[in-house]
Amino acid sequence: MTRPTVLFVCVSNAGKSQMAQALLRAHAGDAIEAHSAGTTPKGTVNAEASASVARAGASMADATSKGIDPGLLRTADRVIILGRDAQIDPVPGMRATIERWDTDEPSTRGIHGQARMDLIRDDITTRVHHLAADLLD
């Protein structure tokens, strides 16, 4: 059996999608192939996001902000957009449907910095655990 492949996408590929990738890797190990990309990659990874996942026992140490690989978009078993802003059009031959995780955005409630990032991380962690359970059943 081949291991399932997940592509997480956000706009900049600097925070939320990178967090989801790192958290899934930490939770599922090699059982699931996790990737992340951005519709408009920023080129850098958010230091607060990296520190937040580290506090949860995951690592974004090897993360790089990158665009969407159309080949990966076609072959992924799950394509998940994090947040409300990123948009992806399906590509010919794509086997996954595009899902959206409307992740928590604490800044709309006046929460910023480390507290904001930890709330986002916790929201994504819950979703990642459900995803892994679904993919590995």
pLDDT tens digits, 24-77: 999 999 999 999 999 999 889 999 999 999 999 999 999 999 999 999 999 999
Q: Is residue 137 part of a domain?
A: no
Q: Hunting for tokens 């399932």 — which residue is that?
A: 4
- Asked if residue 126 belongs to a domain, the reply is yes
Q: Of 123, 26, 27, 21, which is closest to residue 72 (Cα–Cα)?
A: 21
Instruction: Tell whether 125 is covered by a domain.
Output: yes
pLDDT at 15 > cutoff 80: yes
Residue 7 has pLDDT above 60, yes or no: yes
* Domain that includes residue 112, residue range: 5-132
Place of tokens 């892994």: 132
- The stretch 112-133 carries a mean pLDDT of 97
Q: For all residues of the chain together, what is the average pLDDT? A: 95
**By three-state DSSP, how is residue 9 classified?**
strand
> Does any domain span residue 14?
yes
Percent residues over pLDDT 90 in the chain: 93
pLDDT bracket for residue 2 (50, 70, 90): confident
For residue 109, the domain's CATH number is 3.40.50.2300
Token pair belonging to 99: 């899902």
The sheet carrying 5-10 orders its strands as: 33-38, 5-10, 78-82, 98-101
32: in domain: yes
What band does 137 get if pLDDT is binned at 50, 70 and 90?
confident
Domain-located, residue 20: yes
Q: Please check whether residue 94 lies inside any domain of the structure.
A: yes
For the cut 80, the answer to whether the pLDDT of residue 88 exceeds it is yes
Residue 78 contacts residue 98 (beta carbons within 8 Å): no
Asked if residue 71 lies in contact with residue 53, where contact means CB atoms within 8 angstroms, the answer is no
| 12 in Cβ contact with 41 (< 8 Å) | yes
pLDDT at residue 43, as a whole number:
87
Residue type, 75: T
Number of domains the chain is built from = 1
pLDDT score of 1 more than 60 = no
The token pair at 2 is 């081949």
